């Protein structure tokens, strides 16, 4: 029903005797019209012409002078009739009218409404409480493989997958984030992948609620972003089990660089792999979600 308003406005213009289509519009539209669009009939015995729609019903009447039948080029009035018929034809048949000069006025309201709806959705979002976030992990839909792709070219895995060089080659891994780096964790390091030409980033994190993994959110997210932006880049983020530490870093990346909310990030990752960050990590992710949401709302409020 959104197209009725522009049709009504166009009909008002047509009933106005002083309405004149700008010459620049006529020169650009008439000679590109398909042959089947010239369906109006010029009456030599009358000073008016009637434009018919493709269904045969009368769409509108335009006052114009009678066109000379022997003229090789239509008169100014005929050009105006052609232009109006073209616009009406495209409206009735939902064709692309973005190339016509009236496009901006006809679609400005729709675009503004779309932007307002998106802003309202962001403004209405509130980070859930911890208990609600925990329930999201109960909706198991992923797998418990050694490694799973949770986002295009982004993988989450365990220690076995991180040490399996043949598997890494088959997957085409180019970057690795080890969230369990260190002598008493998954002790690989950059030297371990030297023969595979894999970029390595290690974080000596511990799967304990008191560990401040949030200090590595942006560093790890930036490393993952650089890896995915590399032509042919594929990134593996792993820890010992691929459930808590690595999952927390991947969720942080999706929130920081892919602009997902924590809720959407959890749903997406959990649908591909069973994850469950510990309570301390989840609380830090929640704090990050609140901070990013405030930044989005501040930025949107500054836009016109």
Q: Which residues are catalytic?
A: 239
Dihedral of CA atoms 42, 45, 50, 56 in degrees, nearest 10, equals -90
SS (H, E, C) 229-279: HCCCCCEEEECCCCCCHHHHHHHHHHHHCCCCCHHHHHHHHHHHECCCCCH
Tokens of 84: 């109006």
Query: Using an 8 Å Cβ cutoff, are 127 and 293 in contact?
Result: yes
> At 139, is the secondary structure helix, strand, or coil?
coil
C-alpha atoms less than 13 angstroms from C-alpha of 269 in its C-beta half-sphere: 33
SS (H, E, C) 183-223: CCCCCCCHHHHHHHCCEEEECECCCCCCCCHHHHHHHHHHH
Query: Using an 8 Å Cβ cutoff, are 238 and 176 in contact?
Result: yes
Q: Strands 147-151, 58-63: parallel, antiparallel or unpaired by DSSP? A: unpaired
CA–CA separation, 254 and 242 (whole Å): 17
Quickly tell me which residue has 């459930």 as its tokens.
243
CA–CA separation, 226 and 300 (whole Å): 27
């Amino acid at each position: 029903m959104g197209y009725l308003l522009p049709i009504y406005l166009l009909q008002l213009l047509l009933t106005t005797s002083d309405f004149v289509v700008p010459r620049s519009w006529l020169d650009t539209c008439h000679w590109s019209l398909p042959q089947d669009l010239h369906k109006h009939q010029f009456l030599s015995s009358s000073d008016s012409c009637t434009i018919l729609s493709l269904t045969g019903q009368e769409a509108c009447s335009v006052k114009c002078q009678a066109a000379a039948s022997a003229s090789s080029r239509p008169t100014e009035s005929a050009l105006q009739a052609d232009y109006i018929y073209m616009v009406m034809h495209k409206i009735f048949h939902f064709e692309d009218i973005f190339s016509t000069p009236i496009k901006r006025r006809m679609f400005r309201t729709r675009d503004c409404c779309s932007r307002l709806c998106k802003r309202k959705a962001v403004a209405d979002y509130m980070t859930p409480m911890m208990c609600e976030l925990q329930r999201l992990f109960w909706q198991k839909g992923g797998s418990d493989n050694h490694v799973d792709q949770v986002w295009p070219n982004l993988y989450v895995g365990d220690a076995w997958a991180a040490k399996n060089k043949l598997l890494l080659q088959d997957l085409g891994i180019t970057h690795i984030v080890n969230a369990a780096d260190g002598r008493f964790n998954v002790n690989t390091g950059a030297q371990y992948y030297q023969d595979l030409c894999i970029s390595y980033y290690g974080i000596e994190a511990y799967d304990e609620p008191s560990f401040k993994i949030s200090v590595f959110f942006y560093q790890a997210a930036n490393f993952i972003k650089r890896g995915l932006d590399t032509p042919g880049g594929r990134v593996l983020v792993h820890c010992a089990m691929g459930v808590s530490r690595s999952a927390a870093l991947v969720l942080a990346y999706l929130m920081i660089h892919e602009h997902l909310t924590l809720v959407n990030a959890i749903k997406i990752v959990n649908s591909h792999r069973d994850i469950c960050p510990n309570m301390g990590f989840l609380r830090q992710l929640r704090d990050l979600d609140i901070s990013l949401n405030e930044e989005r709302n501040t930025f949107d409020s500054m836009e016109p």
